[in-house]
Structure formats: C-alpha cells, structure tokens
Amino acid sequence: MSETQDPVFQIQRVYLKEASLEQPNSPSILLEKEQPTVDIQLGVNAQPVADGIYEVSVTATVQTKIKDKTVFLVEATQSGIFEVRNLPQDQMGPIMGIACPQIVYPYLRGNVADMIQRAGFPPVHLSEINFQAMFEQQQAAQTADAPAIMTQ
C-alpha cells in the first residue's frame, strides 16, 4: 500500500494588499467636456510564503486621460493566501496562474469600481478575464524566448 497523500487546495484569506487613487489635475480637469480615454493593465504574481502556503496577487492599473493629462490613476493589488499541497509539479503553474487569480479577481473588480465611484467618477468596471488564455500566452512567450537564450 503506497502512502500517497490527498491533494489540498484551500483559500486561507483574500485581502486588498494595496490601493491608491490619484487625481493630479483636479479640479481643472473635471471641467473638461471631452470624454477621457481609459487604459487598463493587469498582472498576476504568485510567490511562496511558507511550506505549502502561497500568496497570489492580481494587480490592476486604471488610467484615464484627456489629451495628455491624467484625470485619475488607480492602482490596486488584491491578494489571496492559498494552501496548496500534494499536487504534481506540472499542475502548480495552472493553479497559481489560473485557479487562484480567478478566485481573487472578483474582489479586485469590486474594490476598483468602488474606489473610482467614491472618488466621484462614473464607475469603471473591469471586464471578465480569461486567466487560462492569459496563462497560456505567458507560457508561449516564455517558450518563444527560450531559444534566444541558448549560446553556441
């Protein structure tokens, strides 16, 4: 009889790690009639914090501009602490890059929309993200970069 242990995947905590909102050109920019452009950037980061315990963070940067002037800039990082044990190593990447961000992201969406609305702006709703496609793109980019590193 082999001594295999059951896989463990548990959420320990989800929390807002960092959030900032800047309105560097207020109040004059608020008088502009032109519609601002919106730029949204997302990132995912995972790191071990203890044996079998990982922090996975999703970061959003939302910047709105009118011409070259910033209306507002929001940066927020939502994190989760996850217990992950007894999983094959080849499953850890998808867990850290897909499953955990899918759990954390809805909290980030709510916090960003709330922060923008409380600042007096119409809410900016972050769209749904396909973390599997995002993960696969990152994997493909890393694979494409690998041959360039080889030396002769």
> E strands, the chain, where?
8-22, 37-50, 53-66, 69-85
Cα gap 81→93, rounded to integer Å: 16
pLDDT, tens digit, for every residue of 79-120?
999 999 999 999 999 999 999 999 999 999 999 999 999 999
What pairing do the DSSP bridges indicate for beta strands 8-22 and 53-66?
unpaired
- CATH 3.40.50.150, domain 8-138, yes or no: no
DSSP letter (8 states) at residue 31 = G
CA distance 9 to 52: 10
CA distances from 93 to 72, 96, 97 (A): 34, 5, 6
What is the model's pTM? 0.85
Count helices and strands in the chain by DSSP H and E runs = 3, 4
Q: Average pLDDT of 126-133?
A: 91
**Spans of all domains in the chain:** 8-138
Strand order in the sheet with 53-66: 8-22, 69-85, 53-66, 37-50
Using one digit for the tens of pLDDT, what is the confidence trace for 9-64? 999 999 999 999 999 999 999 899 999 999 999 999 999 999 999 999 999 999 99
In contact, 146 and 112? CB cutoff 8 Å: no
pLDDT at 79: 98
